[in-house]
């Protein structure tokens, strides 16, 4: 195999390339003149915008009897607006665990003293002692009993305009001694 060496470009070719790159360019004045010519040839009138058709809503007549039918079905009486901040009747002020979702509360133990058993409930890194009658959870839960490794809650759920009771349990996690 023969090896061909790459020769540097000859000075003549280099000079020709240099001269070609120095070809005459348009000056700023020439470019402005070309833009002015283009502007003069372009029509300056805007297209006429057609007005939209006038919208006339159709009124559906409804009879005053109870069997009236609309295109959307029978009219339904809607319940009064429910206030989301409304609380069921409870005694006392808000307690710290009322605003915490029940899923975030862990039972980690119990503490018995003076004949009363407290559940040790953990939220994050804080442990709260809680006894029967304390409120916890966002569904207005109240602790009804603490038995060994479980806490029984009675929650109040808003159903339409009424409060309904629901029983829930919170079980101790882990081996707990």
The enclosing domain of 117 has a CATH number of 2.30.30.830
**Structural domains counted in the chain:** 1
**68 domain residue, yes or no:** no
Q: 77: pLDDT confidence band, cut at 50, 70 and 90?
A: low
Identify whether 147 is part of a domain.
Answer: yes
Q: Say if 40 falls within a structural domain.
A: no
pLDDT in tens, 21-58: 665 667 788 889 988 888 888 777 777 888 888 878 77
Give the confidence band of 78 by pLDDT, cuts at 50, 70, 90: very low
In a domain, 158, yes or no: yes
Confidence (pLDDT) at 144: 92
pLDDT > 90 fraction of the chain, expressed in percent and rounded: 3
Q: What is the rounded CA–CA span in Å between residue 91 and residue 134?
A: 10
What's the pLDDT at 69? Answer: 57
- The domain of 159 spans 102-171
Higher pLDDT among residues 166 and 15, named by residue? 166
Burial-class residue 123 by CB neighbours within 10 Å (0-12, 13-18, 19+). Answer: middle
Each residue of 94-112: b (16+ CB within 10 Å) or e?
eeebbebeeeebbbebbee
Is the pTM here over 0.95, yes or no? Answer: no
Q: Per-residue pLDDT averaged across 59-82, rounded?
A: 56
Does a structural domain hold residue 44? no
Provide the strand spans (E) within the chain. 106-113, 116-123, 126-130, 135-136, 141-147, 150-159, 162-171
For residue 137, being part of any structural domain is answered with: yes
Residue 53, in any domain of the structure: no
């Amino acid at each position: 195999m023969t090896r061909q060496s790459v020769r540097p470009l000859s000075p003549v070719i280099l000079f020709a390339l240099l001269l070609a790159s120095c070809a005459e360019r348009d000056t700023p004045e020439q470019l402005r003149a070309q833009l002015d010519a283009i502007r003069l040839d372009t029509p300056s009138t805007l297209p006429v915008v057609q007005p939209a058709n006038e919208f006339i809503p159709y009124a559906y007549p409804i009879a005053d009897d109870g069997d009236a039918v609309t295109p959307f079905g029978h009219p339904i009486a809607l319940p009064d607006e429910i206030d989301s901040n409304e609380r069921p009747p409870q005694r006392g002020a808000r307690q710290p665990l009322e605003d915490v979702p029940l899923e975030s509360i862990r039972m980690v133990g119990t503490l018995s003293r003076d004949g009363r058993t407290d559940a040790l409930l953990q939220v994050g890194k804080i442990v709260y002692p809680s006894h029967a009658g304390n409120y916890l959870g966002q569904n207005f839960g109240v602790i009804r009993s603490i038995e060994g490794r479980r806490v029984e809650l009675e929650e109040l759920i808003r159903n339409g305009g009424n409060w309904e009771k629901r029983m829930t349990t919170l079980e101790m996690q882990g081996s707990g001694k």
